[in-house]
Amino acid sequence: MSFKIAFIGAGSIGFTRGLLRDIMSVPEFQTIDVAFTDINQKNLDMVTQLCQRDIDENGLAITIEATTDRRTALTDAKYIFNVVRIGGLEAFKHDVEIPLKYGVDQCVGDTLSAGGIMYGQRGIAEMLEICKDISEVADPGVLLLNYANPMAMLTWACNKYGGVNTIGLCHGVQNGHKQIAEVLGRKKEEVDIICAGINHQTWYMEVKTNGVDRTGDLLEGFESHPEYKDTEKVRIDMLRRFGYFSTESNGHLSEYVPWYRKRPEEINEWIDLSSWINGETGGYLRVCTEGRNWFETDFPNWLKEPAFEYKEENRGEEHGSYILEGLETGRVYRGHFNRVNNGIISNLPDDAIIEAPGYVDRNGINMPYIGDLPLGPAAVCNVSISVQRLAVEAAVHGDDYLLRQAMMMDPLVGAVCNPEEIWQMTDEMLVAEKKWLPQYKEAIAQAEKRLAEEEQIPTKDYQGATRVKVKSVAEMAKDREAAVKNAGEADKGNF
């Protein structure tokens, strides 16, 4: 079997390597063509060395085509994996630090809230350029598998404005599935689930063991769990008040809704610092910074470690390889995917990107009808969808008026800031990130003028309610196992 796959943003620390291992674990795929592209030559070289070493050690006759020329990598590609982080850590720092001055305390800042909205502005501008290249040089039947955040916004823009068939993929459903099985005292394979909603706000609508609905047992199970009762307080509270468990981690979920991070003195009541993803202020920025520093320092040791073995038992749970397997071999795969709604969830907008069950085989990716979500979960999703729609249209058209409206409608930003603060914060973020926002050239010039000439609202020297210091490489070296694990999470943690 021969076809070409390409990775955009392939210089990610561990995610590219893991996805490639999953794909190469399918016997029929061990003669395909592979291309990597990234704008950072150094990162691209390091990841290519690791992955090529894996390929060689597994006895495969594949040579990775690694290039900073994106169009070359995309030429004739049938499947394209998007794992980019537009603006890198430099822009990501602005996403976290500037909102903090206005009291907006984010754990991650890559999906909603002020950071996620600006991440979307950068990402959509570049994704439309990527889609243009894909349309011109890739295989006519190409499928774009988007792993980049903000998942819904980027997938929305690629489908509506990029003209490229795009599916958004995430691992939140799988991770929550593991937790649910644990609190029910079952193995994961013994628990059947149906999730529906939007990415990072997907709800476990059905949880069954032996055909019996166990949804009503989850609250007691999580409240009495020795670990989760402390680490998942936000998710447990949402389960208590809305009736359904949400896919996303405590830290992520806390920044998508208006109730848990709006008063600094209350934030500690809802989070736990045993892991960044439980709600640490700027937790993902810290992990990414530490992970990148460690990988660059420790890279020679990674090459000395055993290569990944391309075996089925080593295959991960990311949907990507299973989708390719279903489409190419006809083996049926069931997962949860992000697609344009078009009536799948009947009380969410048709144009929204929803996350729901899907089936893959040679006939394609098919998403069955779900019907209505319960009113409460639907209301939570619809608020976020309104923000996403405003943010997508703002990014596509370079409309800073819509961008400011997206900021105002965001649940956490709106809970913390008044309109004048939101306007000024948006000006600051536009100016700080201007080199990644070509569509806002005129708006940024006006924002620069306002910031220079007009009296500004005082801001706070606020580091967040639960900030943890970034470790030095020397400090990380004291526990190399933890540092290596951390470097993997700097791509895509177990959210």
Question: Active-site positions?
Answer: 171, 256
Sign of CA dihedral 43, 45, 46, 51: positive
Instruction: State which H helix or E strand residue 379 sits in.
Output: helix 375-397
Contact in structure between 351 and 389 (CB atoms under 8 Å): yes
65 closest CA partner among 5, 141, 138 = 5
Residues shown for the chain: 495
Inter-residue contact 238 to 253 (CB < 8 Å): yes
Q: Are 403 and 391 in contact (CB under 8 A)?
A: yes
Alpha-carbon span 79 to 73, nearest angstrom? 11
CA R_g for the chain: 22
Long-range contacts at 184-187 (CB < 8 A, ≥ 24 apart): 184/209, 184/214, 184/217, 184/218, 184/221
**What is the rounded CA–CA span in Å between residue 34 and residue 77?**
9
User: Alpha carbon of 33 to those of 1, 75, 144, 321: distances in Å?
Assistant: 10, 11, 16, 15
Q: How far is 428 from 225, CA to CA, in rounded Å?
A: 43
Per the CB < 8 A criterion, the answer to whether 112 and 287 are in contact is: no
Lookup: tokens for 69? 């020329």
Is residue 250 within 8 A of residue 279, CB to CB? The reply is yes
Q: How far apart are CA 387 and CA 409, in angstroms?
A: 6
Backbone angles phi, psi at 224, to 5 degrees: -100, 0
The region, left, alpha or beta by phi > 0 then psi within -120 to 50, assigned to residue 9 is left
Strand duo 33-37 + 65-67: pairing: parallel
What contacts 162, CB < 8 A, 6 or more positions away? 127, 128, 130, 131, 132, 134, 135
Structure tokens at 320: 């990507």
* Alpha-helical segments (H) within 7-87: 15-24, 41-57, 70-74
Longest dimension (CA), the chain: 67
C-alpha 250: how far from its chain's center? 15
